[in-house]
Amino acid sequence: MLIINNLKASINGKHILKGISLNIKPGEIHAIMGPNGSGKSTLASVLAGREFVEVNEGSVVYLGKNLLEMSAEERAKEGIFLGFQYPIEIPGVSMVNFMKTAVNEHRKHKGLESLSASDFLKMMRDKKELVEIDSKLANRSVNEGFSGGEKKKNEIFQMAMLEPKLAILDETDSGLDIDALRIVANGVNKLKRPDNSFIVITHYQRLLDYIVPDVVHVLYDGRIVKTAGKELALELEEKGYDWIKKEVENNVIA
């Protein structure tokens, strides 16, 4: 589904990603963990098409296409979804109008007719139930005045509406209490299918109690320094990141 090869990227001339390679197959959940400042969010931004990140080297192939040549909206319509670490408040733009526009753009891209108003509202209702979000949220402006937990749930709701093939969840668990965390994780589990994949970026192991990853990567200083099964997450929770940092430094010396 997604093949990243030796990806190097910088922001304002500062090198953040220093050669990342990843191969994600349909149906897989990959967790990317790592200490603050290791480049996790930058990787998410590159994949979603944020313009301020400059790609210096390497390639990203998504479903056989060069992802880096596509605009952010094309990527979205091709099935990439970014769950934001900090969802943006947009006063004056209603959730209904926002989602209707987005869903119909996706449908147009697939050669489908726009949804009728009643079909669309039914879809909203169904998806709201699926991800257990308060139905009142949908009547408000996008994220405006939402609590931290509501914003994150709203990201999962949008994901449910757009049914992506590859969802990248950037620290969706940060700032969530245990109930919200459970709702977010349940949402992901319900949306998981054999033909779609997830990249779950997280700082803590906590979320991975609910979303069980197939592969865990540790990102440190712009590189993936360790890849293993889900047991790696537990090890990190227990020992912290220091032993990884030491291992990396020893390798560099060796």
Partner 1 sequence: MNGKSELTERYIALYKENIDKISSISSPYLNSFRKAAFEKFSTLGIPTKKNESYKYTNLNIFFDHEYKNYFIPEESDFIKAEEFRCDVTELDTHGIVLLNGFYPTINEKLLQLPSGVWIGSLNEAAVKFPEIIKKHYARYAGSESDGLINLNTAMASDGVFVYVPEGVTLTKPVQVVNLVQSDEDMFNQHRNLIIVEKNSVFSIIICDHTLSPRKFLTNAVTEVYVGENAHFDLIRVQNEHNSAGKMTHTFIHQEKNSVASSNNMTLHGGLIRNSTYHYLGGERAECNSYGLYLTDKWQHVDNFVNVDHAFPNCTSNQLFKGVLDDMSTGAFNGRIMVRPDAQGTIAYQKNNNILMTDDAKMDTKPQLEIFADDVKCSHGATVGRLDDDALFYLQSRGINKREARLMLMFGFAHEVIQNIKVEALRERMDNLVMQRLKGELSRCASCLVKCG
Q: How far is the CB of 43 from partner 1 (least distance, A)?
A: 15
Give strand pairing partners of 169: 83, 200
Nearer to partner 1, 93 or 123 (CB): 93
Nearer to partner 1, 164 or 222 (CB): 164
Q: How far is the CB of 135 from partner 1 (least distance, A)?
A: 20
Nearer to partner 1, 22 or 95 (CB): 95
What is the rounded distance in angstroms from the CA atom of residue 218 to the CA atom of residue 165? Answer: 23
Q: How far is the CB of 103 from partner 1 (least distance, A)?
A: 8
Q: How far is the CB of 83 from partner 1 (least distance, A)?
A: 10
Nearer to partner 1, 71 or 189 (CB): 71
Nearer to partner 1, 34 or 87 (CB): 87
User: CA 22, 27, 28 angle in degrees (round to 5)?
Assistant: 40
What is the rounded distance in angstroms from the CA atom of residue 139 to the CA atom of residue 41? Answer: 30
DSSP notation for 186-209: HHHHHH--TT-EEEEE-SSSGGGG
Structure tokens at 160: 């449910």
* Residues 6 or more apart whose Cβ sits within 8 Å of residue 205: 33, 233, 234, 236, 237
* Interface residues toward partner 1, by CB under 8 A: 48-51, 71-73, 75-77, 81-82, 84, 87-88, 90-93, 97-98, 101-102, 105-106, 109, 141-142, 158, 162
Q: How far is the CB of 162 from partner 1 (least distance, A)?
A: 7
What is the rounded distance in angstroms from the CA atom of residue 184 to the CA atom of residue 203? Answer: 16
What is the rounded distance in angstroms from the CA atom of residue 99 to the CA atom of residue 106? Answer: 10
Q: How far is the CB of 228 from partner 1 (least distance, A)?
A: 30
Nearer to partner 1, 1 or 80 (CB): 80
Inter-residue contact 91 to 144 (CB < 8 Å): yes
